[in-house]
Structure 1
Amino acid sequence: MLLLVLKRETPLLIRIAFILLLTGALDSLALAEGLPVRARIQTLTPFASPEGLDRLSRSTAKTDFAPLANQFEPQATIAFCAPATAAIVLNALDPQGVEASHDRSRLTPADTRYLPRGLELTDRRYTQESVIAAGKKTRAQVLGEPMAVEGRMVRDGGYQLRQLDELLRAYKVATKLVIVDAHTPEAEIRRDLVDNLQRGGDYVIVNYLRSAVGQAGGGHISPVGAYDAATDSVLILDVHPSHYPWLWMPLATLIQGMRTRDGAENRGYILVRPR
């Protein structure tokens, strides 16, 4: 590899040529890794930055932000991005927990030893644990225990998007599952997401490959909080904030991250509303 040190006295044309050469080299590297070039060079903007806060301030498609932020909780394990996302969305749809149950799984016998008889410590609320219990996959299978798939035992940790959609429909919600393959029009995806974010009472869940959007890691699921038309970007409320902060992601980059394989089919998104 040829390394050049560009100083202030280096002629302008040489500096421009070097930048173009470097850009081409980065594009070639992305292609060699099998990743979309545009996703590699578009900027992911932290929500907590001045620019990130400005985007939320000027956004006209942010009705979902406050309800989701109010119910936000991080994933309990690296395999629980889908249960965490489901719990956040279900609590946003039913903030009083009318249809939820009391989840006592985090309590030990010692926790209630000295309490008055009949006192309930927990609220009616959707939790990551109760959401998992409502689905077909067991907690052990979510964490990697082999399960029977088409006559053979396979490890299928976490959730694929269709599995999450099936779990959500166990509750009193209606969903629209969209698998984003090579034939799914970008205009259709943009319309679905922007229309939803402009309208209150329904929510967007996205499933994308981190390495295809410029992050380290594999597949991930999180809710979306807002859309900024000026930068054509969406606010990902990442449920793994200890590693990845909330950030604005160019919509084109997100779509590239969804056009990736996850088991039997591609990733995509789910629109969730009350049934």
Structure 2
Amino acid sequence: MAVAGLYRRILPSPPAIEFASAEGKQLFSEALRNGTMEGFFKLISYFQTQSEPAYCGLASLSMVLNALAIDPGRKWKGPWRWFDESMLDCCEPLEKIKAEGITFGKVACLAHCAGAKVEALRTSQSTIDDFRKHVIKCTSSEDCHVITSYNRKVFNQTGTGHFSPIGGYHAGRDMALILDVARFKYPPHWIPLSLLWEAMESMDVLTGHPRGFMLISKLQRAPSLLYTLSCRHDSWVSTAKYLIDDVPILLKAEGLKAVPDVLSLILRSLLSRAGDFINWVVEVRLREEDGSAVSQEEKGRLAVKEVVMQQVRGTELFKYVTDWLSSIRSCCTIAASLVDKDSLSKIAASVCCQGAVLLSGKPGEYKGFCCRATRGECLKANRNGTVTVISGTVVSGDDEQEVDMLVPVSPSKSSCCGSGPSSCAVVHPVSDDVLTVLLLALPADTWVGIKDENLLAEIHNIVSTERLPDVLQEEVLHLRRQLHFLKRCKDGDADDFVLSSCG
């Protein structure tokens, strides 16, 4: 029986000029001489075709992340750490994207969660002249790339909403090179920049917003050394709203006389969801054939995480949080449950199972995986310390795989005996640490409503980022930027979480 199918599309020209045509080659040559093709070579080295009709945003982003040499911090397949569409699932389930596409706001969220520096601008927030300046700047450098969200119909192409990176710019003709990730459909092509702007100005009828562009570059440092905010869990929108909008109003209440009063006011409503909103970052990997040897690179990352953890525990705020949690754990069901969640054996079983799912290349398919056993080892890291590795045997049907979890610990209190993770006297990050860091990451103006001037001065003293050690200060400021970004998604892009198609 005959089966209908499509083999590519004829590129409508004009307005587009095919990259591989004689005219397209001439444009490339002239732009190269003028210095506005510098970003092209990195992008073309990692150019990929979207693996699903609705994965244009994911393909564009993974291509740019790899071109910027951003380390995902976790393995893709085998021993390799690499960005692939399957790795970009933190802001929306892949199955949902596959069925319905993804929006401008969610692609920006993914870029941020993946560790990139992101500036996302809709056409309503910018001008064509500013857009041109951004394109010229990024195409003249290897350090920044532009991803555009546009409507294909403006180019007389089939389909509607689409994402692709810009690979170059020709100043004389004012044309941008679109590296179309739907290569099964259209080849790379040059488009007049004014027409591209018009295509970005078109309204996405499902979100009620115009499209736009995003500038993706590499952060000066690792995005999250130990702690990170999550937009994966269903409660993140309400949690972000509570922290940014509600807490400052609550702090205007009468009767706040001491720091524990302030903590109680904030944390009692936060405890049930904080663990889903801020987490400590655990590195997972397939267990190496030669055992649990830890590379120098891995030891280095763990050492930095341990520094962050020690600095958190050295803050005055940590002592207040610990004392307050201890006072309520015996009488508060939610707080008491935090003790159980902090158990390293339970964390290990959960994380090893999650890691096995991620390493299998089937994110989202957690149901068939079960962590049968975990065990801990304390390995020599250097002359003065050890590294804690928790290994789990994860079962899926008839398949078994060994997954390692590299745990940041307190070196001064680490010792190892016995065979299970609970028998290693490690001090790993717990709820006290997580809540302390989250409070430190709140915007500085959160506290200004406190009416007692002495209490306000004391709070400012213990939450001031200027008083923090350098490593922890950068960690806290990064979390604050994350929180600001999530607030932008919540406020400015609320309707953008309705998914639009990508064709």
Same fold (TM over 0.5): yes
- Which structure's residues are more often helix, by fraction? 2
**1:3-56 deviations in whole A, cap 9, x for unaligned?**
xxxxxxxxxxxxxxxxxxxxxxxxxxxxxxxxxxxxx99520000101111111
Structure 1 contact 236–249 (Cα < 8 Å) conserved: yes
Q: Deviation of residue 242 (structure 1)?
A: 1.1
Structure 1 contact 100–126 (Cα < 8 Å) conserved: no
> In the alignment, does 2:150 pair up with 1:177?
no
Secondary structure at the counterpart of residue 143 of structure 1: helix
Secondary structure at the counterpart of residue 132 of structure 2: helix
Secondary structure at the counterpart of residue 139 of structure 2: helix
Residues 92-103 of structure 1: pairs in structure 2 closer than 5 A: 92-94=67-69, 98-103=71-76
Q: Deviation of residue 269 (structure 1)?
A: 0.2
- The structure 2 residue matched to 1:218, chosen from 160, 166, 186, is 160
Structure 1 contact 209–257 (Cα < 8 Å) conserved: yes
Structure 1 contact 42–253 (Cα < 8 Å) conserved: no
Residues 162-241 of structure 1: pairs in structure 2 closer than 5 A: 162-181=105-124, 184-241=126-183
Provide the rounded CA distance (Å) in 2 between the counterparts of 1:249 and 1:239: 15
Q: Hey, what does 1:143 align to over in structure 2?
A: 98
Which one scores higher on RCO, CA 8 angstroms, separation ≥ 6? Answer: 1
Q: Hey, what does 1:52 align to over in structure 2?
A: 24
Q: Hey, what does 1:126 align to over in structure 2?
A: 83
CA RMSD of aligned residues (A): 1.7
Q: Deviation of residue 101 (structure 1)?
A: 2.5
Unaligned runs of 5+ in 1: 1-39, 105-119, 145-156
> In the alignment, does 2:216 pair up with 1:244?
no
Unaligned runs of 5+ in 2: 1-11, 220-503
Decide whether aligned partners of structure 1 residues 254 and 265 sit closer, same or farther in structure 2, where only a CA change above 3 A counts.
same
Q: Hey, what does 1:19 align to over in structure 2?
A: none
- What is the total number of aligned residue pairs between the two structures? 203
Q: Hey, what does 1:68 align to over in structure 2?
A: 43
Hey, which bits of structure 1, 4+ residues long, moved more than 4 A?
A: none
Q: Hey, what does 2:58 align to over in structure 1?
A: 83
Structure 1 contact 202–273 (Cα < 8 Å) conserved: yes
Provide the rounded CA distance (Å) in 2 between the counterparts of 1:168 and 1:184: 20
Counting aligned pairs with the same residue, the percent is 26
TM-score, normalising length from structure 1?
A: 0.70
Secondary structure at the counterpart of residue 186 of structure 2: coil
Q: Hey, what does 2:214 align to over in structure 1?
A: 270
Q: Deviation of residue 163 (structure 1)?
A: 0.8
Provide the rounded CA distance (Å) in 2 between the counterparts of 1:50 and 1:100: 42
Structure 1 contact 42–250 (Cα < 8 Å) conserved: no
TM-score, normalising length from structure 2?
A: 0.39
Q: Hey, what does 1:147 align to over in structure 2?
A: none
Amino acid aligned to 1:75: Q
Provide the rounded CA distance (Å) in 2 between the counterparts of 1:41 and 1:51: 11
Q: Hey, what does 2:195 align to over in structure 1?
A: 253
Provide the rounded CA distance (Å) in 2 between the counterparts of 1:159 and 1:166: 11
Q: Deviation of residue 102 (structure 1)?
A: 2.0
Structure 1 contact 213–256 (Cα < 8 Å) conserved: no
Structure 2 contact 53–98 (Cα < 8 Å) conserved: no
Structure 2 contact 112–118 (Cα < 8 Å) conserved: yes
- The structure 1 residue matched to 2:15, chosen from 34, 43, 53, is 43
Larger Rg: 2
Amino acid aligned to 1:51: E
Provide the rounded CA distance (Å) in 1 between the counterparts of 2:50 and 2:155: 20
Amino acid aligned to 2:108: D
Q: Deviation of residue 99 (structure 1)?
A: 3.5
**1:210-258 deviations in whole A, cap 9, x for unaligned?**
0022211110000110000121100000000111110000001100000
